[in-house]
Amino acid sequence: YAIITVLLVITFHIVAFQQKLVPSRWSLSLESSFASVHGLVKSQVGAANERFFPFIYALFFFLLFANLNGNVPYGYALTASLIVALGLSVIIFIGVTILGLAIHKVHFFSFFLPAGTPIALVPILAPIELISYLARALSLGVRLLANLAAGHSLMKILGGFLFTLFTSSILVSILTIVPFVVFIGIVALELAVSFIQAYVFCILTASYIKDSID
């Protein structure tokens, strides 16, 4: 499914890059996505945005298509996998930590002690800040995992329940149309969540990069 996701991302870009006098819907969607991600990185990272934009851009499309794959019937949500979600989260955490150490050297550790902290509070605040920083390694992936897994589990349960109702008597099948409409609404919501979670993941990644730079 990771390979399928990468192939879908590449195919989307090949189709959208077709040079025509009148842009296609694919071209317009790619241009708007490019502008949105570029604006995100520019607002979060600041002056160094061009250096990190390719990474955030690739991350966004990988997560987006991985999320959307999970909405295909009998498909698999790659980002609802514990290994994938936490794997991405931990790798990004290690990357931004190395970036911060490379830029600031030993001064990087002042990140765990807010400016102007009284000496008496140092033994308390320093461990709290350290734990808060280390929690980023999990929180980024857990947020993505929880949202995708919860939504897809709900769709699977409701889908199986509705299938049982539709295959019963004619009267029950007719009455099942009402909950089926609600189910369609949930599916539409999950499609929106696929976009939102990819965007949120990239916003947080960009903000972590900003913290390491500054």
CA distance 144 to 89: 9
Q: What is the pLDDT at residue 88?
A: 92
- The 10s digit of each residue's pLDDT in 140-172 is 899 899 988 888 888 888 888 888 888 887 887
Average pLDDT over residues 15-19: 82
Residue 6 CB-density burial (10 A; 0-12 exposed, 13-18 middle, 19+ buried): middle
CA distance 188 to 201: 20
132 pLDDT above the threshold of 90:
no
- Confirm if 184 and 112 have CB atoms less than 8 A apart: no
pTM: 0.84
- Confirm if 103 and 212 have CB atoms less than 8 A apart: yes
Cα torsion 179, 69, 89, 136 to 10°: value is -20
- The 10s digit of each residue's pLDDT in 96-123 is 999 999 988 888 887 777 777 777 777 8
- The 10s digit of each residue's pLDDT in 35-90 is 999 999 999 888 888 899 999 999 999 999 999 988 887 778 888 888 999 999 99
pLDDT band for position 204 (50/70/90)? very high
Q: What is the pLDDT at residue 129?
A: 82
Q: Nearest 5°: phi and psi at 24?
A: -80, 175
Task: With CA atoms as reference, report the closest residue to 92 among 213, 210, 211, 208.
Answer: 208
